[in-house]
Each structure stands twice: as C-alpha cells, then as structure tokens.
Structure 1
Amino acid sequence: MRSAASALPLARTFLFVPADRPERYARALGTGAGAVIIDLEDAVAPDKKASARVLLEEGFRALPEVDRARLLVRVNAPGTPWHDEDKALAARLAVAGLPGLVAPKAEDPRDLAGLAEAMGPAGVLVPLIESAEGWAALDAIAAAPQVLRLAFGHLDFQADLGLACDADEVELVPVRLAIVLASRRAGLAAPVDGVTPDWRDAARLEVDVRRARRGGFGGKLCIHPEQVAPAHRALGPSVEELAWAHRVIGAAQAARGSVISLDGRMVDLPVVKLAERLLSLDAQGQL
C-alpha cells in the first residue's frame, strides 16, 4: 500500500463530493474529513458522466500532493456504460497519486480484481455492499486483493431487498454484524457505515453514528460537510471511556502482569486490550 494511503484505514469520516463540481474538492478536504470521495456514480447525471471525468482529472491534478492522499473516487458499477472509461481514468489518476477507489454494487471479486489491476499494486479498494448478491459474497469480497475496508450502502440494500426500515433499522442488525465479522475474518480495518440522508437532522446523525460504533463500525459515509465533525466525535471514545482506559492501563502496568480488580471488575488481558483500543481510537487525531 502506498504510504499516502496509510491514514485511510483509520479514517472515521468519508465525505462525498460530486465529480463535476471540482470547485468543491478543496472545500471538502478542508472540513477535516478523514477521506473525501469524489463521486462519478450517483452524484452525476448520465448525460454529464463524460464531462465529469474531464473535470475530475483536471481538478485532481490541480490539488497539492498531500491533499490527493485523502481522496478516493467512486466509479460507476460494472455493467454500466461508464465503467470502463471510469476504470481507465482511475489508472491515470493512480499514477498521479490517487490512493484508491470506492467500488459500488460490489458483488463479484473478479470485478474488484479488474479495478485493483487498473490501480496498480499500491492502490486500495473500498467495496460498497449494497445488494443481496453482495451480502452473499461478503467473505470473497473482503478477501479480494487490495481491499482496505468494506462499506455498507444501506439505502440501496433496502431497495434491493424491498425493505422498509424504521429509524432504528432493526432489520439491518444482522447485515451490519455480518459485514463486521467478514471484515474481522479478512483482517481488514473496521468497516464504514452508510449515510444519514437528512444532513439537517443532527439528532438522527448522532443516533446513527452511535449505533455504528456500538456495532463495530469504524467509519461513516457523509453527504454534507456539517456531518463530518459530529460523526468524527461520535465514532471516538467519550471522556468517560478514556478516563477508564487510562485507569485500566495504569493499574495493569502497576500489577506487572498479575490479574487485578478495578471497580469490582477483573482486569485481565481482554480488558486491557479494550482499554488499549480506546486509547488508540483517541490517538487517531482530532479534526
């Protein structure tokens, strides 16, 4: 993996920006999002796909190298009229420093292999699980070459299955868990949860992100700059959790390997690892 992509496994927020609006690229990067996804798929109308590719290539090359390292491009899915040209563009941008691609409608590892080949051995892929077929192939997709993290396109997933979820999305609990489990089995970074479509609903965003973190997700797809900061905070440990983690690590160090009790709870290796993980999350940086 190219060193420029080293922050992407730790990114908590992934902010979409339309490919045909290059004037928004720098603004999106300025939000402090862990990664910015330049979108050639849903955000661009069919009759503007070709011009969007031109604008994307020009806009990407105009950015400083340090900013290019936080960019991903979402290409159009295999089987669409635009996929092959998107892939050719991705190959050119990879040479110029593009670290990776977001692969929509991921269902077949062979399609991911084609994208990986276009990007070269240093490029990374973030497949979007958005269908029953994608869910059925989770382990194969997670194990495909150069896959960095999985992401959940839960709105498309609901549409594919004919689901009509309420705000709690209880129907999607087993699907989210399966994505987390597949990521763990493949040794990937924690997966990225789907968007909160009403960017003005701060309370709903908070609920969605807290659910994602409890469920083992490490990132959130965002559709508006105002979602970035609160999502980043909610995916990190709370003040209370950090205080507990510091106490656990301090007690464990003082015990020098012996099992101890803290607040009536046995502090053994799994507890220490949980504390270390919380501190690691906090060390990933602030906006």
Structure 2
Amino acid sequence: MKDKTEKDQAGAIDRITLPLFVPGDRPERFAKAMAAGADAVIVDLEDAVAPDAKERARAGLAEALAPVTGTVPVLVRINARGTPWHAGDLAACAGLPLAGLVLPKAESGADCVAVREETGLSVVALVESARGLRNAEEIAMASRRLAFGSIDFAADLGIAHERDVLLPARFALAMAARLAGQAAPIDGVTTALREEDVIADDCRHAVAMGFGGKLIIHPAQIEAARKGCAPSQGECDWARRVLSAVEGGAAAIAVDGAMVDAPVIARARRILERAAATV
C-alpha cells in the first residue's frame, strides 16, 4: 500500500503544469483555490506567511485541508532547512494526504532525501540560489521534480531578473531534469497578475527552454498561462500530420516538404502530449 501511495504521489507531480499558490494562513481561500482551474494547489507556509503566523498556519493545516482533499493534487511549500519552522512543518505534513512537498532553497541532494525520509512524501525541489544551481543534477536525482525560484535566484546572485540573463540557469535546470529522467521542470512565477500577453509570453519562453509548467501566484494568471504553455493549433496540426504519415512504419519520410525521422517524430509526440496536458 505504501509503494502504491508513493507511486500515485509521484505520478500526480509529474503531470502538474500550472500549480497555484495559496497562503497557508488563509484557509478560507483554500476551496476557492481548488476550484480556480489550476491543476494543483500549493499551500504556502513559507514566503506567503509572516513569521508570527507560521505556527498557527501549520497547526490548522490538517483541519483546513480536510474538506477540500481530493479535488486537485495538493502540495505544501514548507520552510527551508535551517529555519526555525522546518522541523515542525515536516512533522505536521507527514500524516497528510498530500501529493508532495515543495522544498524551497534546495541546495543539495541530501536536503531532498532528508525531507522525503522524514515525511514519506515526494519532493519538488525549488532551486533558487547559486549553490542550488551548481548542484542541480544532484538535486534532480534526489527529488521527484525541479522548479525554478527565478526571483530569489536573481537576488542571490545580484543579477537582473531578465530572460537573457537567466538563460544559462534555465538551460541548466532543463538539462538536470532530463539527466535525472524527470518530468520537465516548473518555471518560476510571473509577477504581472493581469497582463495576459506578458503571462502567456513568459510561458511560451519557458516551454521553449524545456520547462513543463509555470508557478502561478493568482487565479487571474491561470488562463493566460494555460494558453502560453499549450502548443499552437499549427503545431498540433503539424504533429498530427507527422504521426499520421509514419503510421505505415517507414523509417524516414517527408512531411510538408521536410524530412521526418525519429527525432522529429518524438517532437511531434511531445507536442500532442503537451496539448493534452494543457486542456
């Protein structure tokens, strides 16, 4: 039974595309967050909760989650290792029916292993520091999935939070996830709440960099993010033409005047998988 539960948790995490944060000390918002249209909810005990409210949020977590459990996968972002609240967060989450835990400031594989062994829950490792990026492959091997805390990462390095500056970091995380055999990592938040074009464009950039989703901080971002993560109709049509053309089993053929072989076929399949995941 334990093995099946862990497998179910891992599968749920692999399929997440748009997880929505909700403050852990605002239980009255939990049901609304579950119904907002995101494909997972992250109850946040870290940045969204003031230090003097953390113990109260943690203590009320089980009761607050009970009425909404089972609607969408629920994760909890605990406080980082080395903080005064970390051990208490682990103890409070260990018995809850969660899909997993989000570990902020993940900087080593040992960080992830310790959380998983203490709670029995799968770990999404949030990489948001220079040390975390340096150890990204090790962290990926020890966690279920990677996520990018791009704003904290930029602050840690004292660099601009801009696409061209962050290209090496995003590429490194996509590589680390691939080497670990993980689902594609989840990209960091977009701070614009209602600028749909900005949100969608950020998501398109993340997908182009090899990411498989986006952290969402407000329900108003969900639809624009979904559009940005989804392949275009033209991409889907092309992918269907490719897969239809290879049904006969030919090793190499031409579609739309271009050669199609195994790598192109694999890309076509990924496009349709992404379309299905962002419906």
TM interval, shorter chain, is over 0.9
Q: Is the 8 A contact 1:35 1:71 kept in 2?
A: yes
CA distance in 1: counterparts of 2:197 and 2:251, whole angstroms = 44
1:214 aligns with 2:208: yes
Amino acid corresponding to residue 266 of structure 1 in structure 2: M
Displacement of 1:73 after TM fit? 0.2
Amino acid corresponding to residue 174 of structure 2 in structure 1: V
Task: Name the residue aligned to 1:203.
Answer: 197
Q: Is the 8 A contact 2:197 2:224 kept in 1?
A: no
Q: Is the 8 A contact 1:126 1:149 kept in 2?
A: yes
Give SS of 1:283's match: helix
CA distance in 1: counterparts of 2:251 and 2:41, whole angstroms = 45
Equivalent positions of 1:1-287 (< 5 A) are 1-3=6-8, 5-64=10-69, 66-67=70-71, 70-93=73-96, 97-120=97-120, 123-144=121-142, 147-166=143-162, 169-254=163-248, 256-284=249-277, 286=279
Amino acid corresponding to residue 124 of structure 2 in structure 1: V
Q: Is the 8 A contact 1:7 1:34 kept in 2?
A: no
TM-score by length of 2: 0.94
Displacement of 1:71 after TM fit? 0.3
Task: Name the residue aligned to 2:3.
Answer: none
Write the deviation string for residues 230-249 of structure 1: whole angstroms up to 9, x where unpaired.
Answer: 21221121111111111111
Write the deviation string for residues 99-132 of structure 1: whole angstroms up to 9, x where unpaired.
Answer: 2000000002222112101221xx2110111000
Displacement of 1:11 after TM fit? 1.6
Q: Percent identity of the aligned residues?
A: 47
Displacement of 1:172 after TM fit? 0.5
Give SS of 1:133's match: helix
Gaps of at least 5 residues in structure 1 are none
Q: Is the 8 A contact 1:100 1:119 kept in 2?
A: no
Give SS of 1:42's match: coil
Q: Is the 8 A contact 2:150 2:161 kept in 1?
A: no
Displacement of 1:4 after TM fit? 5.1
CA distance in 2: counterparts of 1:42 and 1:119, whole angstroms = 21
Give SS of 1:143's match: helix
Q: Is the 8 A contact 1:2 1:99 kept in 2?
A: no
Displacement of 1:23 after TM fit? 1.4
Q: Is the 8 A contact 2:16 2:213 kept in 1?
A: yes
Q: Is the 8 A contact 2:125 2:145 kept in 1?
A: yes
The number of residue pairs the alignment matches comes to 274
CA distance in 2: counterparts of 1:263 and 1:272, whole angstroms = 14
Give SS of 2:21's match: strand
Gaps of at least 5 residues in structure 2 are 1-5
52-61 or 79-88: bigger deviation: 52-61
Displacement of 1:181 after TM fit? 0.1
CA distance in 2: counterparts of 1:165 and 1:109, whole angstroms = 26
Write the deviation string for residues 162-219 of structure 1: whole angstroms up to 9, x where unpaired.
Answer: 11234xx211001100000000000000000000112122222122111001110001
